[in-house]
Amino acid sequence: MTESTSPSFAGLEVGQVVAEREIAFTRDMLVRYAGASGDFNPIHYNDVIAEEVGLPGVIAHGMLTMGVGASVVEEWAGAGNVSDYQVRFTRPIPVPNPGEAVVTVSARIGALDEERRTARVDLTVAHGETKVLGKAQALVDCE
């Protein structure tokens, strides 16, 4: 087992982009996530039901979207170095069939606390031009 190291505080600057990634959400991904999470709400797999409740069709699970954002930060920061993570769900992500919904995640240093040796990482999580998570922030412990 390898030990994870945290990012070097000395090498960080406010505004610095530390990670970026694109993730393609597909209906297959939603099915796998539903099985893993136990969230079988039909708005995540049935277009008719999703449209009946006012959605544009099947949408991605909010917790899946939240988890994707966290994984981008965790990959940069190292396992166990994210001490807090919070988001607000702002917009659904419609997932077409066939096809995919591409979500972009950008992680940028929003603030540095020299005394605590932590970095606040601000995430932009978007589907096209639409931000799907608001006030998405992670707190990372640094060396």
* pLDDT digit string, tens, across residues 20-69: 999 999 999 999 999 999 999 999 999 999 999 999 999 999 999 999 99
Stretch (H or E) spanning 73? helix 62-77
Q: Is the entire prediction scored with pTM above 0.75?
A: yes
Least confident of 5-9, 28-32, 52-56, 98-102: 5-9
Q: What share of the chain is helix, strand, coil (3-state, %, to 5)?
A: 25, 40, 35
The domains found in the chain, sorted by start residue, are 12-141 (3.10.129.10)
Closest CA to 93 of 134, 127, 136: 127
In the predicted model, what is the mean pLDDT of the chain? 96
Q: Quick one: pLDDT at residue 3?
A: 55
